[in-house]
Amino acid sequence: MTVRGTRRPAPSAARKPAKPQPQPAPQQPRRAPESGIARATQKLHQAMEARPLLDYTMVRTIVLILAGLGIVMVMSSSMATSFAASSSVWSLAIRQTVMVAFGLIAFWCALKTPPERLRRWSSWIMLGAVLLLIAVLIPGIGTGRAEVGSQSWIVMGPLRLQPSEVARVAIAIWGAQVLAGRDPKRLFQANNGFPLFLSVAALCILLIAAQGDLGMAVSFAVVVALILLFAGVSWKAVGLAAFGGALVLVYEFFSGGFRSDRFTVYFDAFFGRFHDTRGVAFQSHQGFLSLADGSVFGVGLGQSRAKWFYLPEARNDFIFAVIGEELGLWGGALVIILFALLAYFGLRTARRAQNQFQSLMAAALAAGVVSQAFINIGYVIGLLPVTGIQLPMLSAGGTSAIITLAGMGVLASVARHEPDAISAMQNYGRPAFDRVLGIGEPQAPSQSRNASQRPRRSAADPGRSAGTARPARPVRPSRPGRTVADAEREARFGTPVTGSRSSRREPPRYDDMRRAS
């Protein structure tokens, strides 16, 4: 019996624990709203990454556009000179068309040549270039001193070969082979490759300067400096060497002669006042007048007045002034944009190349042509002293057009041998451009590496060659979304690959090649 007002005893069984209250989710920091430019840039990047053959397509397209534009502008700018020399307005234009045709054949041959085969030939190419630089200094072989003040050409029948053009392409190929895989921190060790490269490069610069062609010596030095930067040498070391080169230019400025006059004209052009428009400043002043006459839309193709003996070297060094006069601001901007795109896709090819050799070679070839182009444009518009360097693929020239197009063929070949491009061709077939021109499938990465490596005796096992008998463990992605090509590039270069194409489904890569190996 329970008495009212007393508490009922607690039950012996344990009470059920209360359900835990859900914790509020931590607030995520608000992202700043993306601007329209950022979204457009991201979409453009995704669209570019979705096309594995983009570099190959863009490099060859830009080169063909520049070569075609060069034929048209040489035809327009050489009419008066051609008529005065041979009573025909088309003689120089026909000659330039033939030279560009030979250059396109050289482009096709370089495109068919695997980059690793050039690696085996690189020492012989560099040796031939050095011998040509020595031969052009021999009296009776080299010419040009009386005409333009520099002994820079070797006459071979109807052709005139400029060895410095050959040397600039050769140093890009051979330098990439020597510096690939080297440690830039041990710059001056004898077995590191850098001392050999610096010695040969310095020899070439001295030989080019001995010809009297200071402009080409500066262009060659720019290519050497860029190769060193791409190989990992610090900016301080390259900047110190550039400071030494600047001291040489200062000495040339105060030494008197025609080079000192060029610096004087440069300062006149930079500040917009020419003191001797009928003497040393005549060419630069006429170039300024041509650009001013062209205005925004130009006077029309073939309607230039400067080419009628007002502007010296209208079809060679100052062809950009004729382009600005006939095609206006838009024509000049088109040329600058084309060379800027060539620089971008050349460096993009270098970043996505199979190995460091191909990466260095692509970067050096692209940087060499683009730096020469901007030096030429710079002195035409008054930002640099006149150096006499031609505008690549646009100025009139025989062997220079052939050699430049051959170098661009090597660059396109590297773009064609990118791992992503090889995978796309293996899965979807070659593009129509390759099928029409009879260009076979590119070599897969392991095939090209094995073909370029010499077998070495292993110290641990004398009975086999190092790296040949024991197959390497395949590199596999270590995190989700990363492709095999990204993993191989990270293992080869030691740096993480950003901008991976992991956001979409892709066909398997290198499966057939790995089964065969």
Checking 181-190 for CB contacts under 8 A at 24+ apart, the result is 181/356, 182/231, 184/231, 184/232, 184/233, 184/234, 187/233, 187/237
**CA–CA distance, 357 with 119 (Å, rounded to integer):** 8
- Look at residue 433 and tell me if it is in a domain: no
Kind of pairing between the strands at 159-161 and 465-466: unpaired
**158 and 84 in a common domain:** yes
Where does the pLDDT of residue 169 fall: very low under 50, low under 70, confident under 90, or very high at 90 and above? Answer: very high
**CA–CA distance, 130 with 124 (Å, rounded to integer):** 10
* Domain final residue, candidates 376, 404, 419: 419
**CA–CA distance, 501 with 481 (Å, rounded to integer):** 8
What is the pLDDT at residue 471?
Answer: 44
Of 253-267, 271-285, 485-499, the least confident: 485-499
**223 and 122 in a common domain:** yes
Which of 467, 481, 484 is closest to 426 using CA atoms? 484
- Look at residue 228 and tell me if it is in a domain: yes
Residue-number span of the structural domain to which 505 is assigned: 476-517
**513 and 369 in a common domain:** no
**178 and 248 in a common domain:** yes
Amino acid identity of residue 327, one-letter, is L
What is the pLDDT at residue 457?
Answer: 41
- Look at residue 516 and tell me if it is in a domain: yes
- Look at residue 381 and tell me if it is in a domain: yes
**513 and 404 in a common domain:** no
**CA–CA distance, 331 with 319 (Å, rounded to integer):** 12
**401 and 268 in a common domain:** yes
The average confidence (pLDDT) of the chain is 79
**124 and 236 in a common domain:** yes
Q: Please tell me the total count of domains within the chain.
A: 2
Of 39-53, 375-389, 466-480, the least confident: 466-480
| Three-state secondary structure call for residue 466 | strand
pLDDT tens digits along 433-488: 988 988 888 877 654 444 344 434 444 444 444 444 444 444 444 555 555 556 65
- Give the Å distances, CA to CA, from 229 to 34, 150, 176, 343: 34, 30, 12, 16
Of 247-251, 387-391, 432-436, the least confident: 247-251
Of 215-224, 327-336, 462-471, the least confident: 462-471
Q: Inform me whether the pLDDT recorded for 128 exceeds 90.
A: yes
What is the pLDDT at residue 66?
Answer: 95
- Look at residue 442 and tell me if it is in a domain: no
**480 and 408 in a common domain:** no
- Give the Å distances, CA to CA, from 106 to 112, 364, 505: 10, 19, 38
Q: Rounded mean pLDDT of 412-424?
A: 91
Report the 10 Å Cβ neighbour count for 43.
Answer: 10
- Look at residue 33 and tell me if it is in a domain: no
- Look at residue 19 and tell me if it is in a domain: no
Where does the pLDDT of residue 513 fall: very low under 50, low under 70, confident under 90, or very high at 90 and above? Answer: very low
* Domain final residue, candidates 419, 434, 454: 419
**498 and 360 in a common domain:** no
Where does the pLDDT of residue 496 fall: very low under 50, low under 70, confident under 90, or very high at 90 and above? Answer: low
- Look at residue 244 and tell me if it is in a domain: yes
**509 and 369 in a common domain:** no
* Domain final residue, candidates 386, 419, 452: 419
**395 and 497 in a common domain:** no
**CA–CA distance, 105 with 308 (Å, rounded to integer):** 33
Judge residue 454's burial from the number of C-beta atoms within 10 Å of its C-beta, 0-12 exposed, 13-18 middle, 19 or more buried.
exposed
pLDDT tens digits along 171-202: 999 999 998 888 777 766 667 778 889 899 99
- Give the Å distances, CA to CA, from 232 to 155, 216, 356, 489: 39, 25, 11, 17
Q: Report yes or no: 383 and 270 within 8 Å, Cβ to Cβ.
A: yes
Q: Which tokens is 389 given?
A: 């360097």
Q: Which tokens is 415 given?
A: 């773009």
Q: Inform me whether the pLDDT recorded for 76 exceeds 80.
A: yes
What is the pLDDT at residue 468?
Answer: 44
**482 and 374 in a common domain:** no
Instruction: Give counts: helices (H), strands (E), the chain.
Output: 20, 5
Where does the pLDDT of residue 511 fall: very low under 50, low under 70, confident under 90, or very high at 90 and above? Answer: very low
